[in-house]
Structure 1
Amino acid sequence: MAVRAEIPSPTNTPELTITELSGALKRTIEDRFGFVRVRGEVSGWRGPHSSGHCYFSLKDEGARIDAVIWKGVYGRLKIRPEEGMEVIATGKITTWPGKSAYQIVVESIEPAGVGALLAQLEERRKRLAAEGLFDESRKQLLPFLPRVIGVVTSPTGAVIRDILHRLADRFPTQVVIWPVRVQGETSGAEVARAINGFNALPEGGGIARPDVIIVARGGGSLEDLWGFNDEIVVRAAAGSMIPLVSAVGHETDWTLIDHAADRRAPTPTAAAEICVPVRAELLAQVASFGGRIAGARLRLMQRHRSDLRALARALPGPEDLLAMPRQRLDRAGEILPARIRRALADRQVRLGRLAGLLAKHSPQAELAHRRATFNALANRHRALARPGVLTERRALQLRVLDDRLRKALGNSLQKTQQRIEHQQHRIDDLGKRIANATRLAIPRRRDQLRALSQLLSSLGYRNVLSRGFALVRDASGAPVRSAAAVGGGDRLAVEFADGTVQVSASGAAPPAEPPKPAAPRHARAAPPKDQGSLF
């Protein structure tokens, strides 16, 4: 049996396992940095993981630290972090023994000042505007006299009282209130749910469907009004089939829902004034229209009465109307006897002429003519009915028709055969021409492709990158041609031959050097020793 000898330790320092050392470091760091507030830029934001946790990094000019937001904390955040956003994160520092790394577990996060909120707001406004949610063509006209007005606001604030009081003064109308929180983490989701809920109400249901919706809130800071800048609120307002009036904040306050709404009111009271007219003014206007209609009807009747009197004076009397018919009757009585005698004489002449014609076409004369015609036809029939005469004639006619048919059929077949042979010759000729053209075109196209490939290989910038050069692009993808075009903090993409690296510029660009005198056109400057020539 083998016995292992104990080798004495050269030092009295106690031995620690990796787990013990990692645990000691974890306790030391967590005790020393219980809660910290750090300020930095969000980097590598990957959004909620499949588990609901969010992983990213916070960085500044000199260092970076990994960060994590647990699923439960992320659901309570008022501000959602985004890539490149400068924030102030509050949390505790802890270690991850499995990777020998440390990280901050974020408990709360807020923008680093109003400037960050404004930058995030402007970025969101541009993105939603690019989708067409703020286009004027999407705006709807407000109804002139809505029967039901839906109000989305807090039921306990002064805003709803101002709206109801103003509606009662101008034009009492049925109001349906959808209570929501107008400030806080859940305000955006509640406002969006209220707008969608009003649109989902059926016509003639238990709850009256509003003809117009007012989304209202009193004034406040940018953080207080941030719920109305939420993307779900903007999309709900833009997709509302019911006309929507935005009355958020005071006249100088602007939120994204103001751009998506069909109409913006500077205050909640002004929103009530926009939605309904003044009832007293409408009654006065109706009364004015009624008076004008009555006056116009009276003037029309007077004008018609005057026109009727003028027409009555212009009408002729009964004697004048009968004078001309009487004169025509007297003249007709004078010429009627002469006309009757002349007509009788004409009738007698025509009767004599018809009697002569009737004598020529008497029944006896017609019978004799028809008998003669019948006898002639009978004789002709007996001549044709002799044996062999009709048959020989028909046979002769058939032989003539058969010869003509055979000649016509032979000519047609001959012409058809000639056309088929002609088309066959054309097809053979075209096939030969296509084969020759294909045989000649393929080598020519192959030579052109080879020449273009060589030209691309010689002029393409990727060959230059393979010799140690790099191509610098700005955030929009455009090439950066001078150092003066780069400012501190600009995001740049540096493309090498084997890939692209995202970098951030620090500091300002060096001052531009004065232009050097141009060299003679016939002299070419020698390339630097540490850089190869592009040519």
Structure 2
Amino acid sequence: MSDLIDSPAQGQNAPEFSVSEISRVIKRVIEGEFSHVRIKGEVGRVVRARSGHLYFDIKDDNAVINSICWKGQAAKLATQPEEGLEVVATGKITTYPGQSRYQMVVSELAVAGVGALMAQLEKRKAALSAEGLFDPDRKKPIPYLPGIIGVVTSPSGAVIRDILHRLRDRFPRKVLVWPVAVQGANCAPEVTRAIQGFNALTPGGALPRPELIIVARGGGSIEDLWGFNEEMVVRAAADSDIPLISAVGHETDTTLIDYASDRRAPTPTAAAEMAVPVWRDLTGHVAQLEQRRLGAITAAIDTRRQRLRDLSRALPKPADILAQQGQRLDMVSARLPRALQMAATGKGRQLAQTAAALRPQILRTKLTQNADTLGRLGKSFIQTAENGLERRSQSLAGLERVLNTLGYEATLMRGYAVVRDETGRVVTRANDAQSQRVLEIQFQDGKVKTTG
């Protein structure tokens, strides 16, 4: 270093250095003097590169320092840089020889004071509200009696004990605890993963999906609760398909997850009270409903019994109905012998009249007459049949003579013949006969087959 600054410039004996050599010396000097610094200022331009690195400015009224946060460290920052946010940045000052400028490599970033945090909170709240994440229409009803409740909180704090104790006193339910950090740099990503993880579970699976989620934490300062103001947590709560109750801090504490949740509880204990009804109150209410049901049934039966009694008064007595029918039976029974006697007398007269027509002499005469009629009809039928047969025999003999005269067999008797092919079809042309392999010729006294 002394060679660069104190070398004599007499003559041509001064040493020459390259640009890279000078840049390395400057970088070594600056990093040696400013290896660990804390700078307070306002965040200016913010650029997140595709590589994951963060580039932003830290400025005050008179100067600007270009800053960079490498990808691996950017994800661990407790506070993400936002334009206009007053912060305290911790890191080192280095140079960038490619552009002959110096810059700060940031390893930690914190908000400078509560006022700056509140300003950032209001700005973020307005932006998320403008997206509709806090709209009442997005909020889902809390189930009356969830079978499984998922709790996102620290497993070692008093919060989980208070929730479990209150659930056990009111109405014991199955509880799944997703352990998370409830403050610090890991708070926001772990709470986000917990909400998304509960939603990713399969209903009825080996690890059942909860029907309600409680995100809980005890009270603290705004810095302690800041993880529940992060955008990723708010979006996870708003996108949750499972109804979600936020119970972060004490009653006076408000975080952005409270606006995105389906219901806000002032304390973790109050969240447990919202989640389930009181078992004794519920059983008492059921007992009252049972008493009302039994009372209603009894009153309905009494009403119908009274109605039946009223209707029965308008009906005649069974004894009166039977007495009337009995009297009618007596009257019919008294008339029955006389009616039977009169019917028998009438039938007797009809029988005498019919029997008079059935004397033996009359029957013999009828039989003789019918026999004579049958004999005459029989002779006439036989004569008619014989005449008909004779006429049909003569007609048949005439048809036979005509057939013998006109049939082709009579033609054969005069010296003709019939020629057929092997299929039995008659051949009438010489050309057709020459094309056949086998011919059958029928003469008067028989058939002869020829082959060509």
Q: Determine helix, strand or coil for the equivalent of 2:47.
A: coil
Number of residue equivalences: 316
Which residue matches 2:127?
Answer: 127
Q: Determine helix, strand or coil for the equivalent of 2:83.
A: coil
> Which AA in structure 2 matches 1:298?
T
Displacement after TM superposition at 1:253 (Å): 0.9
Q: Determine helix, strand or coil for the equivalent of 2:266.
A: coil
Cα distance in 1, alignment partners of residues 52 and 295 from structure 2: 76
User: 1:232–1:297: structure 2 CA closer, same or farther, 3 Å change rule?
Assistant: same
Segments of structure 1 that go 5 or more residues without pairing to the other structure are: 1-7, 327-535
User: 1:56–1:292: structure 2 CA closer, same or farther, 3 Å change rule?
Assistant: closer
| TM-score, with structure 2 as normaliser | 0.66
State how 1:127-166 maps to structure 2 within 5 Å: 127-166=127-166
Which residue matches 1:33?
Answer: 34
State how 1:356-395 maps to structure 2 within 5 Å: none
Which residue matches 2:23?
Answer: 22
Cα distance in 1, alignment partners of residues 53 and 200 from structure 2: 34
Cα distance in 1, alignment partners of residues 17 and 199 from structure 2: 67
> Which AA in structure 2 matches 1:304?
R
Displacement after TM superposition at 1:59 (Å): 1.4
Cα distance in 2, alignment partners of residues 52 and 144 from structure 1: 45
Which residue matches 1:96?
Answer: 96
Amino-acid identity (%) = 59
Displacement after TM superposition at 1:219 (Å): 1.1
Which residue matches 1:178?
Answer: 178
Q: Which has the larger radius of gyration?
A: 2
Displacement after TM superposition at 1:11 (Å): 7.7
Which residue matches 1:307?
Answer: 307
> Which AA in structure 1 matches 2:278?
V
State how 1:192-341 maps to structure 2 within 5 Å: 192-317=192-317
Displacement after TM superposition at 1:15 (Å): 4.5
Displacement after TM superposition at 1:66 (Å): 1.5
Cα distance in 2, alignment partners of residues 14 and 190 from structure 1: 58
Structure showing greater relative contact order (alpha-carbon pairs closer than 8 Å, 6 or more residues apart): 2
Cα distance in 2, alignment partners of residues 30 and 184 from structure 1: 29
Moved more, 252-261 or 222-231: 222-231
Segments of structure 2 that go 5 or more residues without pairing to the other structure are: 1-8, 329-452
Cα distance in 1, alignment partners of residues 141 and 52 from structure 2: 43
Render the CA deviation track for 1:385-437: whole Å, top value 9, x for unaligned: xxxxxxxxxxxxxxxxxxxxxxxxxxxxxxxxxxxxxxxxxxxxxxxxxxxxx
Moved more, 95-104 or 158-167: 95-104
Cα distance in 1, alignment partners of residues 192 and 16 from structure 2: 61
Q: Determine helix, strand or coil for the equivalent of 1:77.
A: coil
Render the CA deviation track for 1:271-312: whole Å, top value 9, x for unaligned: 010011111111111112222222222222222222222222
Which residue matches 2:404?
Answer: none
Displacement after TM superposition at 1:30 (Å): 2.6
Q: Determine helix, strand or coil for the equivalent of 2:193.
A: helix
Displacement after TM superposition at 1:164 (Å): 0.6
Moved more, 94-103 or 139-148: 94-103
> Which AA in structure 1 matches 2:207?
I
Displacement after TM superposition at 1:27 (Å): 3.0
Q: Determine helix, strand or coil for the equivalent of 1:246.
A: strand
Which residue matches 1:68?
Answer: 68
Cα distance in 1, alignment partners of residues 168 and 81 from structure 2: 44
Render the CA deviation track for 1:421-463: whole Å, top value 9, x for unaligned: xxxxxxxxxxxxxxxxxxxxxxxxxxxxxxxxxxxxxxxxxxx
Which residue matches 1:191?
Answer: 191
Cα distance in 1, alignment partners of residues 293 and 79 from structure 2: 62
Cα distance in 2, alignment partners of residues 104 and 212 from structure 1: 46
Cα distance in 2, alignment partners of residues 197 and 106 from structure 1: 32
Cα distance in 1, alignment partners of residues 104 and 192 from structure 2: 34
Render the CA deviation track for 1:116-137: whole Å, top value 9, x for unaligned: 2222221211111111111111
Matched, 1:42 2:43: yes
State how 1:323-472 maps to structure 2 within 5 Å: none
Q: Determine helix, strand or coil for the equivalent of 1:192.
A: helix
Cα distance in 1, alignment partners of residues 89 and 241 from structure 2: 40
> Which AA in structure 2 matches 1:194?
A
Aligned-residue Cα RMSD (Å) equals 2.3
User: 1:286–1:183: structure 2 CA closer, same or farther, 3 Å change rule?
Assistant: same
Q: Determine helix, strand or coil for the equivalent of 2:88.
A: strand
> Which AA in structure 2 matches 1:93?
I
Q: Determine helix, strand or coil for the equivalent of 1:88.
A: strand
Moved more, 154-163 or 183-192: 183-192
Displacement after TM superposition at 1:225 (Å): 1.2
